[in-house]
Chains A and B, each alone.
Chain A
Amino acid sequence: MLVYALRRIAGLIPTLFVLISLSFFIIRLAPGGPFDQEQALPPQVRANLDAAYGLDQPLFVQYGRYLAGVAHGDLGPSFRYKDFRVTELIASGLPLSLTIGLAAALLAFLVGVPLGAAAAWRANSFTDHALMSFSMIGVVLPGFVVGPLLALLFGIYWPVFRVGGYEPGVVSFLVLPVITLALPVTAYVSRLMRNSVQEILRTNYIRSARAKGLPARTVFLRHALRPALMPVVSYLGPAVAFVITGSLVVESVFGLPGSGRFLIQGAIDRDYPLVMGMILVYGVLTLVCNLIADLLYGWLDPRVRYP
């Protein structure tokens, strides 16, 4: 187990390397630079700017410098936000983004698992069909449609929660963003859970449990639910990854000062280090979540053997 975990952690390094290299070179291929403005800068100013940020060096030198910086935990200076390091900018928004993301993931699993189990318990009933239609729509609808609609319904027509003009520390602002973000994950989890329970209910050991006279309720709660959780657990990693990237949209819909805006604004401004830094931080988060989910899976299911 430990060896497997270490090997997986070592396996992250080439993936990260590919991520950094891909984003570094692709973003440099893009036309337009960070200091292009409506009015062209005087050539001398421009040259000084380029020299100050090392942009006058050959691309490979810049690449080497960037890698060295990353190895030391420094993501470079932001081109647009003067006097800020990229690490400082991201650190300023990340706590909020992570709070929303993790709350949404938690909510999704806490709601999705019971819903899926309920649908499987009453398979092909009205409840089941209603829940599964809801989940179909939940999976299909993107956050940027659900978000504004929720804000319209529960922020304006029936103002239960507050929207717009975020004030730090007021939970009321975060309810709708978390629900928006959690909705597709909830829908998917409930669907997964339903199918998985259904499959487990058809296995031999469930038949044995029934045959020895256990009430259907006990069989369901004690014997069917736990193994049925396995596919849901393996979806944890992708779900957290989804929630992290999804927080981009939700932050932009609800005007929250998370870190997502840095990616979008950075891409528009050609603020190379900022975009790269965001991709790196979010990439690491995604990869680590996937890793944790895989390890958790092995811990829950003793049959899993590590290669």
Chain B
Amino acid sequence: MSNRTRAALIVLSLLATLALIAPWISPYSPDFLDWQHQASPPGFEASHWLGTDRLGRDLFARGMQAMRVSLLIGVLASLVSVCIGVLWGATAGYLGGRVDSLMMRFVDIVYALPYVFIVIILSTLFARGSIAALFIAIGAVGWLTMARIVRGQTLSLRRREFIDAAIASGVRAPQILWRHIVPNVAGAVIAYATLTIPQMILFESFLSFLGLGVQEPFASLGSLINEGAQEMESSAWMLLVPATLLTVLLVAFNLLGDGLRASLESRDE
């Protein structure tokens, strides 16, 4: 593990821990309106460490709540996309032939569509602000690359002796997929899933920025950035706080994913 990967991991764990314990260390709840300190800049005055927004809500508390939402949606949406992707790719790769070409042709077609649009359409499907619906919508379009990776791996696994042995001893296809293929593609899946999480976080923030994602009173990093951008002339911190949080989160996840992928590739060689 390189130093960069290790640093990314440490930063991520710190951020995640901070986001999780924030309700106990922050003196304010995310939706508390502090009438005495509206739009006050960051500082130690009245314990609004990162300042407040125009309504007097504490930006630290809100930022951490937004991080929890982002992390939750990022991880859950990645899980959804990993599950679909692995099942789809492993089935296509293992069965081969017509089924394979049909399944992958479908992936190709959906791939060709600009998937920001699919997410926007899907997000209209559900009642606005439903977080569960949001991650299903985002996860449902994120599985395509995963399916391709898993299919490629499965194609090469299928020719290995232990699969022949399993077939010869009468194990049925679903069992082979689950017991022999899936565990063997797990490494690549985990490395790629780490890179999927920041994409999902980005998607969620993007939708929330446009007003199609997480709704008030909940905050998301995207909706905080949107609110901050409207106030930036007078109070730049309202933009800078969520923008910095999102940037650090995304960079750290990407470094971690790159590092994992690199160490996986060097092991394969």
The interface of chain A, by Cβ under 8 A from chain B, is 14-15, 18-19, 22-23, 26-27, 29-31, 136-137, 139-142, 144-145, 147-149, 151-152, 156, 241, 244-245, 248-249, 252-253, 263-264, 267-268, 270, 275, 278-279, 282-283, 286-287, 290
Contacts and interface: CB of A to CB of B under 8 A. Distances in A.
A249 B120 CA distance: 13
B247 A145 contact: yes
Given A140-B254, A141-B247, A144-B222, A283 B113 contact: yes
Interface residues of B, number: 39
B112 A15 contact: yes
B229 A253 contact: yes
Given A14-B109, A141-B250, 14 more contacts: A15-B112, A18-B110, A19-B113, A22-B121, A27-B125, A140-B250, A140-B254, A145-B246, A145-B247, A152-B236, A248-B116, A268-B211, A282-B117, A290-B112
A20 B110 CA distance: 12
17 contacts: A15-B112, A31-B127, A137-B251, A140-B198, A140-B247, A140-B250, A144-B206, A144-B209, A145-B247, A149-B239, A152-B236, A263-B117, A264-B212, A267-B123, A268-B211, A278-B117, A286-B112
B212 A267 contact: yes
A264 B125 CA distance: 14
Given A267-B212, A268-B211, A148 B124 contact: no
B202 A142 contact: yes
Nearest to B249: A140
B117 A279 contact: yes
B121 A267 contact: yes
A148 B225 contact: yes
Q: Which 6 residue pairs of A and B lie closest in terms of their CB atoms, listed nearest first?
A: A148-B229, A245-B116, A30-B124, A144-B209, A30-B125, A140-B250
Contact of B125 (A29, A140, A151): A29
Nearest to B255: A136
A279 B112 CA distance: 13
B123 A148 contact: no
B110 to A, nearest CB: 8
Contacts, number: 114
Given A31-B127, A144-B226, A148-B239, A287 B112 contact: yes
A290 B122 CA distance: 24
A142 B229 contact: no
B171 interface: no
B233 interface: yes
Given A144-B225, A244-B114, A249 B209 contact: yes
Q: Majority SS of interface residues in chain B?
A: helix
A286 B114 contact: yes
B205 interface: yes
A148 B205 contact: no
A137 to B, nearest CB: 7
B210 interface: yes
A290 to B, nearest CB: 7
A245 B247 contact: no
Contacts of A148: 225, 228-229, 232, 239, 243
Given A144-B222, A145-B246, A279-B117, A267 B124 contact: yes
A279 B118 CA distance: 9
Contacts of B118: 22
A156 B233 contact: yes
B165 to A, nearest CB: 37
Contacts of A282: 114, 117
A263 B120 contact: yes
Contacts of B209: 144, 249, 252
A15 B109 CA distance: 6
Interface string B220-249: 001001101100110010010001001100
B120 A264 contact: yes
A263 B123 CA distance: 13
A283 B114 contact: yes
B121 A279 contact: yes
Contacts of B125: 26-27, 29-31
B109 A156 contact: no
Contact of A267 (B113, B120, B236, B246): B120
Interface in B84-128: 109-110, 112-114, 116-118, 120-127
A270 B118 CA distance: 15
A10 to B, nearest CB: 14
Contacts of B247: 137, 140-141, 145
Contact of A142 (B206, B228, B233): B206
A268 B212 contact: yes
B121 A275 contact: yes
A19 B123 CA distance: 16
Nearest to B105: A14
Contacts of B120: 263-264, 267, 275
Nearest to A26: B121
